[in-house]
Amino acid sequence: MEPSDKPTPPDDLEPELRAVLEALADSDPETIRSVADHADALATWAESRPSDGDDDAYPNGVPERATVSTIAVDGVEYRYYQWREGDEIRSKTERR
């Protein structure tokens, strides 16, 4: 890529996100890479959460802010939910 060929945001982005990316283009490379690392971490986090189309809704008593991990034990999948309530960490495991 030539130095003059500055990348443009994808056409299908919401206007607010497009504006953020356009503003970020004026930042130094270290800042841009830091934001990219954070965006990658957010994507990993988002992939671990049940989606709206997922038939695995949060169980009763588990807040939507809970972190969700999927684990397999002897070929059986389980969802492990973990969240904080005040100073305490709560968790719940359910078979998928």
CA distance 40 to 22: 18
Q: Is the Cβ–Cβ distance between 62 and 82 less than 8 Å?
A: no
| Phi, psi of 92, deg, nearest 5 | -155, 140
Residues 22 and 60 in one domain: no
Please write the tens of the pLDDT for every residue from 82-92. Answer: 999 999 999 99
Residues 91 and 58 in one domain: yes
Does residue 1 form part of some domain? Answer: no
Q: What average pLDDT score do residues 4-8 get?
A: 82
Residues 39 and 25 in one domain: yes
Position 54 pLDDT exceeds 90? no
Position 57 pLDDT exceeds 80? no
Domain that holds residue 17: 6-47
Lowest mean pLDDT among 41-50, 53-62, 64-73: 53-62
pTM over 0.75: no
As for how many domains the chain has, the answer is 2
Strands (E), the chain: 67-73, 76-85, 88-95
Residues 58 and 94 in one domain: yes
